[in-house]
Structure formats: C-alpha cells, structure tokens
Amino acid sequence: MKALPVVAAVAAAFSISAFAGECPADKRVADGKGQAMVTHGAKGVTDVVRASTDLAKEPVALEGRLFRLRELNIEPGGIVPWHSHNERPAMIYIVTGEVVEYASSCAVPIVHKAGDVAAEKNGTSHWWQNHGSVPSKLISVDVFPVADKMHEKMM
C-alpha cells in the first residue's frame, strides 16, 4: 500500500500541469473573436510521426481515423502555421523550451512552458511560435482524419 501515496502524488502533478498554459478564464472568447488567423507557412519546424494506429482495426472501430504520436521540434523563431482542431482533437506536451500559442478563442497569446500540456479540441484554431533563443520540443498525440493527407504533412 506504500505505492498509493506515490500514485496520488504523480496524479496530482499531472493534474496541475494539465491546466498550465491555458487561456485565462477572463480572456476566453467565442471562437473567431480571439487571436487573428495569420497565414504564414511553417518555418523552422520538423514534424516526425513516431507511431500511428489505424483505429478502424481497433475495438473502437473508428473508420478513417489514425491515433498518432508525433515529435515536433521548433527552432527559435519557428512557426507552426494556422490550423484547426475541429476534426482532430489532440494533446500537446511541451518537453523542452517555450512556445506561444495564438488561439482564435483567446484574447491574449498563451505561453506554454516545458511540462505544460495543451488540450486542442473542437473550437480550437491557432498557430504557434517559438520566440525563445533555444529550440522547443513538443510531443503531440491526436486522432487524425486519414482523408486529410495534405494536412498530415504540415500539422
């Protein structure tokens, strides 16, 4: 039973980090009323799919969707271009560095630091930039629509 306090401590640590780097409650706005869409392309970003599972072949039997794990490395000044999560929920874990998110549903930029988790779900459209002087590493897990092959390479 000594493991129980350790499990509780780990769960508490993850629950705290899950809320870090979110839009402040008083700055949340209707989708489209927050940060404006900026149409620059990807810059200084490497995006590598480390693993994926075809969910149609799993017990959930979700046709046309992949469960993916990706590693994104964003160089200083690098940009992950504007994209939407209306069809693709995701969780982003910031491993190292710091990135700034410009979301359509937040009136202010959101700073994400190492250890933060950003939930990306329906109603989330945004872009990210590394304003720091060191590279940032992110791990992304998403439920990706297979039919969206062009978007797969970029996001």
Half-sphere exposure of 19 (CA within 13 A, CB side): 7
Superfamily of domain 3-154: Jelly Rolls (2.60.120.10)
Which amino acid does the sequence have at 65?
A: R
The reported pLDDT for the residue numbered 54 is 96
* pTM of the model as a whole: 0.79
Token pair of 5 as six digits: 């306090």
Residue-wise pLDDT for 14-62, tens only, equals 443 335 688 999 999 988 888 877 778 999 999 999 999 999 999 999 9
Give Cβ neighbours of residue 142 (< 8 Å, ≥ 6 apart).
67, 68, 70, 88, 89, 90, 91, 120
Question: Are the CB atoms for 16 and 93 separated by under 8 Å?
Answer: no
